[in-house]
């Protein structure tokens, strides 16, 4: 089907729709991180439980990205995309009215399902409607929208939490979601009615991936509660291993697999994909823990916490276009290795923070994390997409998104488990936090930052081992 679906600015209407979905989902992710301490206090919960507000969302997205990407090829993008807006909006409503942590976590799973539909279709919709020579600019603008959502979230969250209930952050999605559903029907209905193909959906592969990730993250998140070497954790790891083995076996035998395992033989696909997962795991150690550090030992207000948390994303917004332009000269190996190194240095120095030192020591450490992440992401994604055949770029795009979300899940789960194992007051949350609790808090905090530093060190090695792109100097 031709890319010239409509004359004039129809393609920009599609871009606007995609932009709304990306901004809404990224804003929601970053804004919820800032709100976690307040949600925990209001619902009388603890760190081990409240971390699942983040984990279940990322886990659901990760588990279903490849499935909904594949489904959009079979059923057409319009139906999957509009359903994604509807499910995400419903999930937001359920989050806003949730009376307790259990129902909030369940509602976040519904939200994650909707977000996975939107994320799986967004890049494909851009490629569908933009001519080849315009796609780079359009996809670059999508990256700017992602950074804008991540940047706006902490500030908006801080202001909302300063004056309103945390529930408002979910209710804000309702009018946006309703508008997007109506606009989606009008815009996408005029652009693409095509079904793509009638190949079957790999349901077994999808189920195996859900089982694999569910067992893995549950075991990791509950390891401090059950014991790292307990029978329950071992059972979860066995379940994850069985799910992984079943997924690989199914993908090898399936005529229409969710993921082409042959791509893993491409070094400049496999190693950048692994390093992306490691980077986001390291980054989300910081993103998950810092709001708690700023709110409790430092005693920052919600708005001040939000202003500090915006720092990495500001640098992501500013430096990302520069790193993308540098790729043509330096290649991905140099830039990605340097970026991972800067993130590791940020986590290393965060481990030496003192709550009485003020805000400046926090800011420059957070800035290092933002610069490192910005140096890494654009060259890494460009390397991955350039290493695969043209007819596998959709699969590669889904794999990148899955690796990103898996890294986020792993980072949050590991941070929650390590912190809770060191901080002896987690059973009652942080209600009545007192100065006497600061040493225990900081012990857990430093343990988490040390683990994040070690992960970034591993990522640095993996980034370097990728080798050089053809016709690149890096």
Residue 197 lies in a domain: no
d(CA 25, CA 113): 11
Q: What is the CATH number of the domain that holds 101?
A: 1.20.1250.20
Residues 94 and 226 in one domain: no
**What is the number of domains present in the chain?**
3
Residue 80 lies in a domain: yes
Q: Are 437 and 425 in contact (CB under 8 A)?
A: yes
Residue 4 lies in a domain: no
Stated pTM of the model: 0.77
- Residues found in the chain: 474
Point out the residues of the chain with pLDDT beneath 50: 1-8, 193-195, 425-428, 473-474
Residues 27 and 167 in one domain: yes
pLDDT at 473: 46
**Could you give the angle at which helices 77-97 and 173-189 cross, rounded to 10 degrees?**
170
Residues 393 and 448 in one domain: yes
Name the residue among 27, 38, 29 with its Cα closest to residue 301. Answer: 38
pLDDT at 6: 45
Q: How many C-beta atoms lie closer than 10 Å to residue 375's C-beta?
A: 28
Residues 132 and 209 in one domain: no
Task: Express each pLDDT in 40-51 by its tens digit.
Answer: 888 888 877 887
Residues 161 and 17 in one domain: yes
For 425, the 3-state DSSP assignment is coil
Residues 221 and 358 in one domain: no
Residues 245 and 171 in one domain: no
Residue 2 lies in a domain: no
CA distances from 178 to 184, 345, 348 (A): 10, 43, 44
Name the residue among 139, 155, 134, 154 with its Cα closest to residue 377. Answer: 139
d(CA 101, CA 289): 19
For 10, the 3-state DSSP assignment is helix
pLDDT at 90: 94
pLDDT at 45: 83
**Could you give the angle at which helices 101-129 and 10-42 cross, rounded to 10 degrees?**
160
pLDDT at 142: 67
- 175 exposure class (CB count in 10 Å sphere: 0-12, 13-18, 19+): exposed
Final residue of a domain: which of 255, 273, 300? 255
**What is the residue range of 245's domain?**
202-255
Residue 148 lies in a domain: yes
Name the residue among 269, 278, 97 with its Cα closest to residue 171. Answer: 97
pLDDT at 436: 82
């Amino acid at each position: 089907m031709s890319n010239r679906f409509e004359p004039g600015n129809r393609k920009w209407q599609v871009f606007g729709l995609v932009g709304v979905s990306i901004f809404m989902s990224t804003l929601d992710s970053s804004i919820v991180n800032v709100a976690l301490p307040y949600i925990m206090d209001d619902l009388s919960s603890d760190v081990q439980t409240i971390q699942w507000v983040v984990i279940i969302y990322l886990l659901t997205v990760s588990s279903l990205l490849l499935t909904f990407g594949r489904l959009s090829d079979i059923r057409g993008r319009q139906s999957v995309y509009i359903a994604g807006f509807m499910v995400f909006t419903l999930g937001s409503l359920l989050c806003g009215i949730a009376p307790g942590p259990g129902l909030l976590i369940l509602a976040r799973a519904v939200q994650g399902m909707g977000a996975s539909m939107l994320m799986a279709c967004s890049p494909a919709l851009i490629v569908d409607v933009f001519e080849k020579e315009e796609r780079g600019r359009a996809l670059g603008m999508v990256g700017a929208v992602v950074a804008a959502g991540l940047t706006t979230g902490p500030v908006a969250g801080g202001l909302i939490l300063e004056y309103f209930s945390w529930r408002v952050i979910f209710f804000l999605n309702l009018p946006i979601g309703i508008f997007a559903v109506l606009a989606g029907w009008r815009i996408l209905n005029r652009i693409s009615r095509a079904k793509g193909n009638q190949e079957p959906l790999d349901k077994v592969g999808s189920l195996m991936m859900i089982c694999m990730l569910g067992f893995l993250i549950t075991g990791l998140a509950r390891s401090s509660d059950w014991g790292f070497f307990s029978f329950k954790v071992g059972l979860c790891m066995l379940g994850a291993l069985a799910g992984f083995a079943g997924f690989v076996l199914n993908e090898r035998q399936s005529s229409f697999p969710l993921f082409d395992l042959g791509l893993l033989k491409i070094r400049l696909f496999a190693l950048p994909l692994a390093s992306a997962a490691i980077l986001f795991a390291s980054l989300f150690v910081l993103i998950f823990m810092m709001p708690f550090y700023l709110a409790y030992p430092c005693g920052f207000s919600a708005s001040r916490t939000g202003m500090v948390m915006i720092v990495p994303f500001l640098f992501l917004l500013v430096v990302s276009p520069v790193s993308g332009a540098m790729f043509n000269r330096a290649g991905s190996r140099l830039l990605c290795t340097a970026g991972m190194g800067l993130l590791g240095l940020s986590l290393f120095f965060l481990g030496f923070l003192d709550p009485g030192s003020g805000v400046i020591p926090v800011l420059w450490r957070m800035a290092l994390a933002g610069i490192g992440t910005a140096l890494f992401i654009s060259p890494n994604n460009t390397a991955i997409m350039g290493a695969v055949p043209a007819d596998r770029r959709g699969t590669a795009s889904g794999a990148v998104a899955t690796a990103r979300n898996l890294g986020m899940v792993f980072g949050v789960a590991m941070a929650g488990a390590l912190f809770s194992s060191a901080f002896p007051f987690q059973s009652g949350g942080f209600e009545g936090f007192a100065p006497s609790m600061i040493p225990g808090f900081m012990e857990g905090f430093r343990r988490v930052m040390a683990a994040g530093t070690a992960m970034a060190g591993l990522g640095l090695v993996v980034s370097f081992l990728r080798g050089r792109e053809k016709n690149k100097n890096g």
